[in-house]
Structure 1
């Protein structure tokens, strides 16, 4: 019978703790022979991430070359879940190690952009929750040398979670439910994606009602957007004077509502495009790609199809030209379907509204072209004022494309790109 590998395990205990959390954490490992446990009392406190980072550095610095190629560090908030098994943990460690992991966590109270790479393992772009973390040797030097500028750590998350933080049950439960929802959504697109039977004859002579929002005094923007659509007969262009409001973001939303009301009154508008006057086509745009993706996205129940975005949290590939996203920044090129006109108009809003955040919240099936067919031209200023975060910066789209490309690379490696 093969011996169980003993995992070098360090349990961080706050030296200032008076409520017995450290002893409770150590008790979690009682009788579990797969762990070689060393308590580490940290008298500088563990109340912040920086405190835990410094403690982690101190522990990693003591690891010798003769130790296994990984170490487990827990803090005194760790508690095992009923999903924990020694075999499951060791299998996940091996799988993560083979996949080039730097870090593996047993559970997270939040995460950004998760991609399933094995039955019980997800790659994640970012996560919070370091109560049960496996660090692999390839990261040891980075940690000890305090290379805080490094942003490319390869991070993995176990699911179902085998660890939670004491007192954070609801946050961890929400994260698990989110992973389950993402898996179901992926399966939905797998069953609805099919070989496209759309041909040029399906859209020959068709032009899409396209409404461009422009403040009358922004002559340079009007000239720019007219140039973008010049010679493109697939667009039936209408310039719509933007609604004026002391808060630019509210004026934009009022303008979008005005367009939806116009389109709702026009029975022939089954699908429309709404553009801001800073929209700019990329080299990836083509008439064929536009119509094919509009028709396919609608078949799959899309509420919104976006030309290009400046940010997201979760991406799932749908085809080689289109992805599902959960939230997004930028509304310079939106394809909206008639079934959703009235629903959007019926939503209540106030002076805190921003169009991209609001549409992200109220619509479930949002898709984006990838590679992007649209970006925002930088005019050196923004008409969308008083945002919480400044989003109209020149490299926003470029950074977002890099993130999506990396995510799709992970999907390709795991054969998760769906058949076309």
Structure 2
């Protein structure tokens, strides 16, 4: 049972020279009897992000000394939305405590991944937007012991310190657009902040809708599929070759040796001074050929593709058929990076967008979309696939990776199979804990 909420102290950070912000934030709390606003003078620093962190550090340090169960920190550009109420905040704090949250946010302007874990409550991976944050006691030490470096920002730093961050949606807090930012230079333009929160909210709703859409489709599949009679299947597989080097050709052929489920066709990468455009022109050429041959499904592989230890013929066929039943148009065997992933089954995620993939299954339903899509000079592979369709999935664990993708350079480490897999695993764990259908 949720007990009546005592009056909550809210520590509002304000720079002494920002009188416009001070007047704005005072007006926000005038009729909020359940909240006691305490103005905190921001620590001045030539780098706004550093000054903000130092101020947060001091507030959390004081909360730690006083053994407070949680502390609410607010920035002076915060405004309450019409969705705010004392009871909504109280319920969210209570539910966050049940989830052993480190941080609860009133609203966010950007995020990488989120997942609904309860009514009006979402888990979030990485975010921006600290204008209204509840920080819980068990997280104090993380903030007090972390090393905040030049180039860091408070919201990204907190994201990196915890995988137990949640936000309320519909948002109860957004930022007032003053046309400038003391912390984030890129937000120094009129209406920029308002648009960020609006776009973020739309994406949260889309995430919820995608989850609901696939859950209903799966529930309608009464009979489970059996895969005992697919030994004869051989899928046309195009390998895009940009290098005539004998070693490269030998290596890619060795990946498919003895795998009769693939009908291999080598195709040379079309010539163009823009490698992304060259790939897309080649893709259209492949799709035109597949259309003429009335293919139902094809696979496109890059020459640096490697099968992972998770690959098996039976799994591939099952993934392809089951994904087709869910109206999937693009199914990746692995991805180089992604934005917004939602677990649909134990072994497949819906993805909003992906950077690229060395192993892509394309269904007939997407062929005409590809042929009709114009290729602009600034088109990337990521943009092209994103604009085609929202019906995209990735197999998990990955069955494909790029040769050398787990190399030593920092970009590859950040987007390595191990790093991406750990992100997807965490998203799945969060989803599984709140969605019983994923456990079956």
TM-score, normalised to structure 2's length? 0.87
1:4 aligns with 2:5: yes
Partner in structure 1 of residue 134 of structure 2: 134
1:211 aligns with 2:238: yes
Partner in structure 2 of residue 352 of structure 1: 378
Q: Deviations for 1:341-387, whole angstroms, at most 9, x for unmatched residues?
A: 12112111233332233212322111000011111112899xxxxxx
The CA deviation at 1:51 is 2.8
In 1: Cα distance, 2:69 partner to 2:147 partner? 20
In 1: Cα distance, 2:272 partner to 2:300 partner? 19
SS at match of 2:112: strand
SS at match of 1:62: helix
Partner in structure 1 of residue 277 of structure 2: 250
- Long gaps (5+) in structure 2: 149-156, 178-192
The CA deviation at 1:206 is 1.6
Q: List, as ranges, runs of 4+ consecutive aligned residues in structure 1 with deviation greater than 4 Å.
A: 389-395
Q: Deviations for 1:117-154, whole angstroms, at most 9, x for unmatched residues?
A: 11111110011111111111122222223334882412
In 2: Cα distance, 1:396 partner to 1:175 partner? 27
The CA deviation at 1:100 is 2.0
Q: Counterparts in 2 of 1:19-168, with a 5 A limit?
A: 20-42=20-42, 44=44, 48-148=48-148, 151-153=160-162, 154-167=164-177, 168=193
1:181 aligns with 2:206: yes
In 2: Cα distance, 1:215 partner to 1:229 partner? 18
SS at match of 2:29: coil
In 1: Cα distance, 2:42 partner to 2:264 partner? 66
Q: How many residues align?
A: 411
Change (3 A) 1:413 1:3: closer
The CA deviation at 1:245 is 2.2
Change (3 A) 1:31 1:288: same
SS at match of 2:354: coil
Deviates more, 1:334-343 or 1:36-45: 36-45
Q: Is the 8 A contact 1:108 1:128 kept in 2?
A: yes
Change (3 A) 1:294 1:258: same
Partner in structure 1 of residue 308 of structure 2: 282
- Long gaps (5+) in structure 1: 382-388
CA RMSD across the alignment: 2.5
The CA deviation at 1:181 is 1.4
Partner in structure 2 of residue 169 of structure 1: 194
The CA deviation at 1:249 is 2.3
Q: 2:289 aligns with which of 256, 262, 267?
A: 262
The CA deviation at 1:173 is 2.1
